[in-house]
Amino acid sequence: MAGVTRPLRVLIVDDDALVRAGLSMMLDGIHGITVVGEAADGAQVPAAADAHAPDVVLMDLRMPNVDGIAATRALRRRPRPPEVIVLTTFDTDENILHALRAGAGGFLLKDTPPAQIVQAVLQVAAGEPILSPRVTRRLMDRVATQAGAYQRARAALAALSPREQDVVLAVARGSANAEIAAELLMSVATVKAHVSSVLAKLGLDNRTQIALLAHDAGLA
């Protein structure tokens, strides 16, 4: 939700009432963030999103009826999708990859310090992905060794213009739009236009998926 100037609207989805209460208490005390609703299961997410129009959703993975992966996928298919941060205790490679492929813009573990969770909400709302440092390297190693991933990624990136490929590399390094603009000597608006073009051409949802594709191709 880059460019949002009103208080960020956060929806918390977790089947543990104590977790929901703790996150709500923590985030509602932060200037510029308001918790607009809670849900105890992925099945409740569509109605909660309709009722509260969140900018960011903090999403648990394992819930009784509809899990966080399915709920994230459904949210990201909406016409104006909120950003999703998966917040879980389960950091297996499969969970991380499934969450990111579903369109999550962040993946954090529940033992992440409160200040870092707050920063993650602000960062993801601004269009910048966030991953728990404990899982980042393992994730990238796993993606890079998937069968056929290298060839598919190379073929996909070959469809981009040289300038778009430059932007992809910068995104994969974790650079923000302003940093990319300075590095490539273009305006921030032009960087945003290139990122939007890359997403459309490659059928991706967000910057995290661009970074994954670059790693698949061995470029970052």
Distance of alpha carbon 185 from alpha carbon 168, whole angstroms: 15
Distance CA 29, CA 215 (A): 38
Residue 204 belongs to what domain range?
A: 148-216
Residues 30 and 84 in one domain: yes
Residue 195 lies in a domain: yes
pLDDT tens digits, one per residue of 152-201: 888 999 999 999 999 999 999 889 999 999 999 999 999 999 999 999 99
Tell me the Cα Rg of the chain.
Answer: 17
- Let me know whether 14 and 44 are in one domain: yes
Tell me whether residue 152 is in a domain.
Answer: yes
Distance CA 191, CA 211 (A): 15
**What tens digit of pLDDT does each residue of 70-91 get?**
999 999 999 999 999 999 988 7
Query: How many domains are there within the chain?
Result: 2
- Same-domain check for residues 162 and 61: no
Q: What is the largest CA-CA distance in the chain?
A: 50
Residue 101, pLDDT > 70, answer yes
End-to-end C-alpha distance for the chain, whole angstroms: 26
Mean pLDDT throughout 108-127? Answer: 92
Residue after which a domain boundary falls, among 116, 140, 164: 140
* 2 found inside a domain: no
Check if the beta carbon of residue 197 is closer than 8 Å to that of residue 185.
no
